[in-house]
Amino acid sequence: MLSIIIPTFNERENVEIISARISETLSDMPYEIFFVDDSIDDTPEYLERTAQADKHVKYIHRTVRGNLATAVVLGFKECSGDLITVMDADLQHPPELLLDMMKAMEAEEGVDIVIPSRFIPGGDDGGLKGFRKFASWFARVTGQIILSDLRKTTDPTGGFFMFRKSVIEGVELKPIGWKILIEILVRGHYNKIREVPYAFQIREHGESKFSFKEQINYGLHLLRLLKDSPKDRRFILFLLVGGLGFIIDIVGYYLLLNFVFTGDTISAAGLSLSAPAVCAAISAVISMLCNFVLNSVLTWGDRKQGNRAVGLIKYTIVSLIGIMIQAGTVFGLFNVLGIDKYIAKIIGVILGSIWNYIVNNKWTFKDQE
């Protein structure tokens, strides 16, 4: 059976229309509509009337005001379907799409989540304008940078999705704010995700309850999921340590040049060396040592590590190869393909960092049982 969870806050005009459109769409298929209502107007009366007229319709009205996230999670607990959909009451999510979603769910083995997407061919986010459109894009991209699970779909921040109840069985959901789907994508257990294109509609009745506070909540929600997601946390820490290493390198270079080797040349063992070259090398080594310590304590601090000296040697080897990858990339892009030298360097840094991360993760800081 399909359970359709619909959170409502002051949606009196929409309750009856959406129930009717779902009924037309699903006709004699087994389903229930579960409204979770926090309204402070007379929406509950409309809900009662609709539930009387249509046996598929159930509702809970909460008198202690909760929020959208707790409403949806309450719906998950109370509903009885093995297939669950969440959608908005205001018809911005077209009910007719439910059929496509169910079809996608059954089309192949192992599909556990189906997400209607505004951002694949055939999709359209027409209902969003101006700043909302930008904010929505920014929120989506930020989420996908921070949390790898959000990269599994093109539309992780919409409020419309379908999943098998098994995805959240035994999982404690603790969403903050509005984006329940990201909570499910990060904490749920699932195999395949499929998308179907859809056009986000314009709201005709009532008004949006979206507010600035929800953007802040979204940021907090991302941070909480990051804290609970070891694989994502590791990569972010690695990037932070790398950024800090860059600063240490530059500051160290400046200090050495201005306070230690103040001349243009350094004479040692009868040789005359360039002071900037020596300072660059020393600051690079200091920065690498700091990075090694921070990465072994923070980034991979949860792993059991053997001899630190061996670790440092491995780390140095990985770093040297990383530098060679950088140099090779710059050579290939600039000298061979004629691409701008700064762009070549940036791409080199990205490739070198990916190399460093992967090999350090699998080799240097591998868990030593």
Residues contributing to the site for ligand GDD (CB under 6 A):
7-9, 11, 36-38, 67-68, 71, 88-90, 92, 136, 157-159, 178, 208-210
**Alpha helices, DSSP H, located in 228-307:** 230-255, 275-294
Smallest distance from the beta carbon of 293 to ligand GDD, in angstroms?
A: 42
Q: Please, what is the minimum distance in Å from the beta carbon of residue 22 to Mn ion?
A: 16
For Mn ion, the binding residues (CB under 5 A) are 88, 90, 92
List of residues 6+ apart from 342 with CB closer than 8 A: none
| Binding partner of 158, given Mn ion, ligand GDD, none, CB within 5-8 angstroms per partner class | ligand GDD
Judged by CB, which is closer to ligand GDD: 84, or 279? 84
From residue 148, alpha-carbon distances to 59, 113, 154 in Å are 35, 16, 12
Q: How far is the CB of 113 from ligand GDD (least distance, A)?
A: 16
For the chain, first and last CA: distance in Å? 47
Please, which residues bridge with residue 34 across strands?
5, 58
Q: Which of 59, 127, 66 is nearest to 91 (CA)?
A: 127
In the bound complex, which residue of the shown chain has the CB atom lying closest to ligand GDD? 159
Picked from Mn ion, ligand GDD, none, the partner binding residue 11 (CB below 5 to 8 A depending on kind) is: ligand GDD
State the DSSP H helix or E strand holding residue 11, giving kind and residue range, or none if neither: none
Q: Are 32 and 56 in contact (CB under 8 A)?
A: yes
CB of 165 to ligand GDD, least distance (A): 20
The DSSP output letter for 228 is: T
Measured from the CB of residue 157, what is the shortest distance to ligand GDD in angstroms? 5
Residue 279 binds which one of ligand GDD, Mn ion, none, with CB within 5 to 8 A depending on kind? none
315 binds, among ligand GDD, Mn ion, none (CB under 5 to 8 A by kind): none
**Is the Cβ–Cβ distance between 36 and 8 less than 8 Å?**
yes
Q: CB nearer to ligand GDD: give 8 or 356.
A: 8
Least CB distance to Mn ion at residue 93 (A): 8
Of ligand GDD, Mn ion, none, which one does residue 210 interact with (CB within 5 to 8 Å by kind)? ligand GDD
Residues 6+ away with beta carbon under 8 Å from 255: none
* Amino acid, single-letter form, for residue 289: L
